[in-house]
Amino acid sequence: MSFMKKLRDKFKTKENEEVSEKYKSGMEKTRSSFSGKINNLIARYRKVDEDFFEELEEALITADVGVMTVMDLIDELKTEVKRRNIKDTAELKDVISEKLVEIYYGEDDEKIESLNLQDEGLTVILVVGVNGVGKTTSIGKLAHQMKEEGKEVVLAAGDTFRAGAIEQLEVWGERAGVGVIKHKEGSDPAAVIYDGIQAAKSRKADVLICDTAGRLQNKVNLMNELEKVRRVIEREVPGAPHETLLVLDATTGQNALSQAKTFGQAANVTGIILTKLDGTAKGGIVLAIRHEMHIPVKYVGLGEKMEDLQPFDAEGFVYGLFADMLDEESVEKEEEA
């Protein structure tokens, strides 16, 4: 059975119908750009040759898959073409979709996409990222989802430097029905997080989600502040933070990758929340972040609603990329080829 047929079968089932619809509609812009280019290439080149690979490379780079990732993917595809003796470019769609999933996971399995929630005691999640990427909104949506799952959640308003950040988090706390621990604007973020931990412990909360500053006078100050916050968390809850989630805006493409590099080195990031994936044609950045930074994407924003912050699913992502090609007729043709 072809990989594309497997994907289609997986996402046409009742249990995966909602996920497939979210990825299909949420990735429309990336898909129309990505699939359009691949379909156009396949229409122009009947046989697999060096010229075809050169143009494919260019198409993938313009989808912000990342230069290093594209080079590795092209090498894998060339190897597979030789191994399977593929001559017709139409047969490559299946191999491309399969290799994208393989490149995403590498040596890991699907568990890398799950949050590291503790069975016993308090789970502390630190959320970092520059201003304007949707950090506070993501915290609110995450808190809402966890509350819906029956967890007791507390938020700590650790972004004390940005005007309006504390009030914004309070609004999200009210919407999600969770408590918010705050100090006044300009307070020491580490002191806010300390109070957040004490409040979460006294309320026997399951999860504490900590907001952090997105910008200070310079990068060194910002990273020093994050380091101080981490020390307080580690002292009060041994083994915490259990997750450090970096929020990135998918519409910024390669700029998101450079932010991932900055924060990845300084904040010990364990996962990515990629917002506004539905608003960009640069969705390939998911693969670049994972492949070049070795950091898994844990959540993606596929719309404005509370439930549109979706747990990331690499196969769902690839399904979203190729959904237009995955109708019955195209898969049947591939099976016959």
CATH number, domain containing residue 257: 3.40.50.300
25 CB burial (10 A radius; 0-12, 13-18, 19+): middle
Q: How far apart are CA 12 and CA 19, in angstroms?
A: 10
- Same domain assignment for residues 106 and 142: no
- Same domain assignment for residues 52 and 93: yes
Q: Which region among 103-117, 168-182, 236-250, 319-333 has the lowest average model confidence (pLDDT)?
A: 319-333
Phi, psi of 302 (to 5 degrees): -120, 25
Phi, psi of 246 (to 5 degrees): -95, 125
- Same domain assignment for residues 213 and 176: yes
Average pLDDT over residues 61-65: 86
- Same domain assignment for residues 228 and 154: yes
121 is in an annotated binding site: no
- Same domain assignment for residues 129 and 99: no
129 is in an annotated binding site: yes
So what's the pLDDT on residue 250? 94
What CATH number corresponds to the domain at position 13? 1.20.120.140
- Same domain assignment for residues 290 and 149: yes
278 is in an annotated binding site: yes
Contact 92, 73 (CB under 8 A): no
- Same domain assignment for residues 227 and 174: yes
Q: How far apart are CA 4 and CA 267, in angstroms?
A: 38
- Same domain assignment for residues 324 and 237: no
211 is in an annotated binding site: yes
239 is in an annotated binding site: no
- Same domain assignment for residues 255 and 155: yes
Q: Which pLDDT band, with edges at 50, 70 and 90, does 323 fall under?
A: confident
- Same domain assignment for residues 88 and 227: no
319 CB burial (10 A radius; 0-12, 13-18, 19+): buried
Residues 252/255/261/264 CA torsion (nearest 10 deg): -30
Average pLDDT over residues 281-304: 92
* Tens of pLDDT, residues 18-47: 888 999 999 999 998 888 888 889 889 989
83 is in an annotated binding site: no
DSSP designation for 47? B
37 is in an annotated binding site: no
276 is in an annotated binding site: yes
Q: What is the pTM of this model?
A: 0.92
179 is in an annotated binding site: no
**DSSP string for residues in 146-208:** HHHTT--EEEE----SSTTHHHHHHHHHHHHT-EEE---TT--HHHHHHHHHHHHHHTT-SEE
* Tens of pLDDT, residues 226-240: 999 999 999 999 999
The number of residues making up the chain comes to 337
Q: How far apart are CA 264 and CA 295, in angstroms?
A: 8
Q: Which pLDDT band, with edges at 50, 70 and 90, does 335 fall under?
A: low
Q: Is 139 helix (H, G, I), strand (E, B) or coil?
A: helix
Contact 41, 132 (CB under 8 A): no
* Tens of pLDDT, residues 259-273: 888 888 778 899 999
| Count of domains for the chain | 2
Range of the domain at 50: 3-110+319-336
Q: How far apart are CA 22 and CA 278, in angstroms?
A: 9
Q: Which pLDDT band, with edges at 50, 70 and 90, does 329 fall under?
A: very low
Contact 282, 270 (CB under 8 A): no
- Same domain assignment for residues 99 and 149: no
Other Cβ atoms closer than 10 A to 294? 12
- Same domain assignment for residues 185 and 303: yes
